[in-house]
Structure 1
Amino acid sequence: MSAGPESTHVSSLGMDDSLHQQVLASFPLCDMTEEDLTQNPQFCKLLVTLAQHVDQTGLTVSLKTELDKMFLFQAEQKLQSQRRHWLRSESLHRGLQEMIQDHCVRKHHTTVPPDQTMFFETMEKCLLVAQCVRRLDPSSTTNQDQPSVLGLNAQQVMELMPSEKNVQRMKQSLPRELEKHLKKKCLNLLSYYQPEWENESEGLKNSKLSHLSVQLDKEKKRAESLKETCRENAVLLQRQTQLYLSELTKCIQLLQSLILDHRLKIQTDLDRKKLDYFEGKCELVLQKIKAEMVEIQLDTYTPDSISAHRKIREKLESELKACQVEKQSVDLKLASFEILGKEFETLAEEYCRLRQEIEMKNWALKEFTQYKDK
C-alpha cells in the first residue's frame, strides 16, 4: 500500500529536476540554483512561461529579430563600403598600370617627349616601390616574427624612390593624365557600345558619356531579366519535355495494348485478303498461260495441219481403244491359262519359242527368195 505514494513522489521529483535544469539552461546569466527553484515553485513556473518569450540573453524574440536585422544591415553597409573602397583602389591601380603599358607601346612606335618619359618612369618606380613595401610591411594578419624577403625591410626599399622633385612633378601631372586616360577609355567604351556615335562631336560624346552608366545599368538589368526569363523558359521547357515524354510513353503503351489485343483479328482478315489476292493472281496467271499456249499454237500450226492432226489423233485414239479391248481379251485368256498350272506354262513357253523360230525361218526364207529372184 505504501509503494504507490512513494513511486508518485519519485516520478514528480524526477520531473521537477528536469524542469529545474531547463530553467537554469534558459537563463544562464541569472544567479540561481536548483534549491532556489525548489523553494519557490511559483517563481519557477513564471520562469518557464517567460522562457517561451525571451532568449538566453534576456531579449524578447521580436527585439532579437530587429537587432539581428539591424546588425545585418550595418554589416552589409560596412561590407559595401569596404568593397567600394577596394574597387576604387583597384581601378586606380589598374588604370595607372594601363597608362604605363600604353606609354611603353607608344614609345616603340613614335617619339615621346622627355617630360612624358620622365613622368611615366617616375610613376612606374613609385608603383613598384609601393608594391614592394606593401609586401615587406607585415599587416595585422601576419606574424611579426616571420623572416623578411632577401633580408630587406621597408625602409631600405623606400630609398629606391625617385627624387622628391620628380615625384612632386608626377603628382601634379597625374590627375590630368589619369583623367585623360579614363576619358579615352570611356570614349572607347562608348564607341564600342554605340559605333554610330564615333563620328559625333566632342561635346555630344561627353553629353552621351554622362548618361552611359545609366544606360549600361539598364542594359545590365535587362540582360539579367532576360537571363532569368531564359532560365524560367528552360525550366518550363524541361518540364514540358518531361510531360510530353510521359504522355508519349503512355500513348505508345496504349498502342502496344491495342496491337496485342487486335493482332489476331487483324491478322486473320489480312491473311484472308492475301489468300483472295493470290487466288485471283493465280487464276490470272493460268488464263495468261492458256492464252499464250493458244497463241503459240496459232503461230505454229495452220488450219489444215490442225485438222490433219485432229484426224490423226482420232485414228490413234480409235486404235488405242481397239488395243485396249484386245489387251483385255488377252488378259482374260492368260488368266484362264494360269489356272492350268506350271505344266501349261512350260508348254506355252515351248510354243512361244517354236513360234519365234518359225517366224525367224519364214523371214530368212523370204529374204533368201528375194535375193534369189534378183
Structure 2
Amino acid sequence: MTEKTAVNMLGESDSLHQQVLASFPLCDVTEDDLTQNPQFCKLLVILAKHMDRTGLTASLKAELEKVSASAEQNLQSQRRQWLHTEVLHRSLQEMIQDRHVRKTEPPDQSMLHETMEKCLLVAECVRQLDPSDTTNQEPPFVLGLTPQNVKELMPADKDVQRMRQALPKHLEKHLREKCLTLLSYYQPEWESESEGLKTVKMSHLSGLLDKEKTRAESLRGTCQENRLLLQRQTQLYISELIKCIQLLQTLILDHRLKIQTDLDGKKLDYLEGKCQLVLQKLKAEMVEVQLDTYTPDSISAHRKIREKLESELKACRADKQTAELKLSSFEMLGEEFKALAEEYCRLRSEIKTKNWALKEFTHVKN
C-alpha cells in the first residue's frame, strides 16, 4: 500500500478506523485520535501488515510458534505421564476408601486391599524419607529411620505378587464404574440405557468433552472480544456524554436570563391573579358582613334617612347657589355698597340686641 492510497482510504472510509483499532486492541487509542492524526493512522495501517494483534512481527511469531509447539509437545508428554501416575494413585486410594466404606467384602478382595494399602503406605513413607528421586532435597532425619527400615514393613512377596496379578482386573472394574458415573453426570438421560450402549457412548466421551472444551475456549475468546468492544463503546459513549453535558451547560448559561424573564413574567401574572382573587374574596366577605349586620327594616330606615338627607342636601345646594348669585350681584355694586351693607348688618345686630333686651325687660316686669 502506497502513502497516497493509504491517505485516500483514510479519507474515504470510516470503517478503516475500526479495522485499525481491531488490529491493535492493546493500544490505548480512540477513533478521534485516528481522525485527528491521519499520518499516525496511516502508520498503523502499514504496521498491521507486519505485526499481529499482540505486537509481534511475523518472523518472530513464526519462530515463537515453532518453539512453543515443541515446548507444548514436551509439556503434553510430561503431563500425560504425570496424569497416568496420578490417576493410578488416586484410583488405588479410592478403592481403599471404598473398602473402608463397605466394611464387608469377600476374603480374597479383603486380602488384596490390605496388601495394596500397606504397599501404598510404605511407598509414601519411603518418598517422605528419601525425596531425592523427585527433588534435590536432602533426606530428612525422622526418628533415625531410613527408607530401608520402612521397606522391611512391606507385605510378603507372595502376597504382593498375588496383588499385582489381581489388581489390573479390579482397577479396570473401578475405572469402568467411574467412567459410567461420569457419563451419567454428563448426560443423565443415558442412565436408563443398556450396558452395551453405555460402553459404546463411553468410548466417544473423550471426543465429546474435547468438543465442549473447544467450544468453551471459543466462547471465552468471543467474550474477550466482546469485552474489548464494550470497553471501547463505553469510552465513546462517555466521550459523547461529556460533549452533551458541555452543550447543555452552554445552553443553560446562554438562555438563563431569557428563561428567568419568562419565569418572572409568569410569576407576576400568577401574583396578580392571586391578588384579584383575594380582593374578590374581601368584597364577598364585606357583603356577607353587611348582610349579617343590617336587617331589611334597618335597610329601609337607612334608605328613608338617605332620601331625606339627599333632599336636604339638594335644598342646601339650591340655597347656596341663590346666595352665591346674590353675593355676586352685591359685589358688582362696589365698595360703597359694601359699607352700606356693613352698616345694615350692624343696625340689624343692634335691633336684635335691643329686641332681646326689651323682651327680657318686659318678662321681668310682668
Q: Please give the TM-score of this superposition, normalised by the length of structure 1.
A: 0.60
CA 266–196 in structure 1, closer or farther in 2 if over 3 Å, else same: same
Any unmatched runs of 5+ in structure 1? 1-63, 323-374
Match of 2:89?
93
Give CA deviations for 1:107-162 in whole Å, capped at 9, x if unaligned. Answer: 1xxx2222111111100111122222233343385367x56443333322222111
Q: Which residue of 2 aligns with 1:245?
A: 238
CA RMSD of aligned residues (A): 3.1
Q: 2:21 is matched with which residue?
A: none
In the TM superposition, 1:71-220 aligns within 5 A as 73-107=69-103, 111-137=104-130, 138-139=132-133, 142=136, 148-220=141-213
For residues 242 and 66 of structure 1, the distance between their equivalents in structure 2, rounded to whole angstroms, comes to 34
Alpha-carbon separation, structure 2, partners of 1:244 and 1:65:
35
Q: Quick one: distance in 2 between partners of 1:291 and 1:67?
A: 102
CA distance in 1, matches of 2:300, 2:264: 48
Shift of 1:92: 0.8
The verdict on how the C-alpha distance between 1:69 and 1:270 changes in structure 2, with shifts beyond 3 A counting, is: closer
* CA shift digits 1:325-369 (9 cap, x unpaired): xxxxxxxxxxxxxxxxxxxxxxxxxxxxxxxxxxxxxxxxxxxxx
| Change over 3 Å in CA distance of 1:260–1:316 after alignment to 2 | farther
Counterpart contact for 2:190–2:198, Cα < 8 Å: yes
How many residue pairs align between the two structures? 255
Q: How does 1:51-70 map to 2 (within 5 A)?
A: none
Match of 2:261 in 1: 268
Residues of 1 paired with 2:100 and 2:305: CA distance? 126
1:285 aligns with 2:281: no
Amino acid at match of 2:202: L
Paired amino acid for 2:223 = C
SS of residue paired to 2:209: helix
Counterpart CA distance in 1 for 2:144 and 2:297 is 138
1: CA distance between counterparts of 2:137 and 2:264?
A: 95
CA distance in 2, matches of 1:237, 1:70: 34
Instruction: Could you tell me which runs of 5 or more consecutive residues in structure 2 were left unpaired when the two chains were aligned.
Output: 1-59, 317-366
For residue 73 of structure 1, report the CA deviation from its aligned partner: 4.7
- Note the C-alpha offset of 1:286: 1.0
**Partner letter of residue 203 of structure 1?**
G
1:313 positional shift = 6.3
The whole-number CA distance in structure 2 between the counterparts of 1:235 and 1:65 is 23
For residue 221 of structure 1, the aligned residue among 214, 220, 223 is 214
Letter matched to residue 91 of structure 2: G
Whole-angstrom distance in 1 between the partners of 2:222 and 2:162 = 54
The alpha-carbon distance between structure 1 residues 303 and 65, as it changes in their structure 2 partners (threshold 3 A), is closer
1:77 aligned partner, one-letter code: Q
Secondary structure of 2:192's aligned partner? coil
In the alignment, the residues of structure 2 paired with residue 73 and residue 279 of structure 1 have an alpha-carbon distance, to the nearest angstrom, of: 89
What letter matches 1:124 in structure 2? E
Counterpart residue type for residue 144 of structure 2: G
Q: Percent identity?
A: 72
Residues 1:259 and 1:66: Cα distance change in structure 2 (over 3 Å): closer
Aligned counterpart, 2:31: none
Taking structure 1 as reference, are residues 261 and 66 closer, same or farther at Cα in structure 2, changes over 3 Å only? closer
Aligned AA (2:239): S
What is the alpha-carbon distance in structure 1 between the residues aligned to residue 63 and residue 299 of structure 2? 128
CA distance in 1: counterparts of 2:97 and 2:143, whole angstroms: 28
Partners of 2:246 and 2:209 in 1: how far apart?
54
In structure 2, the CA distance between the partners of 1:290 and 1:140, relative to structure 1 (3 Å rule), is: closer
Report the 3-state secondary structure (helix = DSSP H, G, I; strand = E; otherwise coil) of the residue aligned with 1:142. Answer: coil
Report what 1:13 is aligned to: none
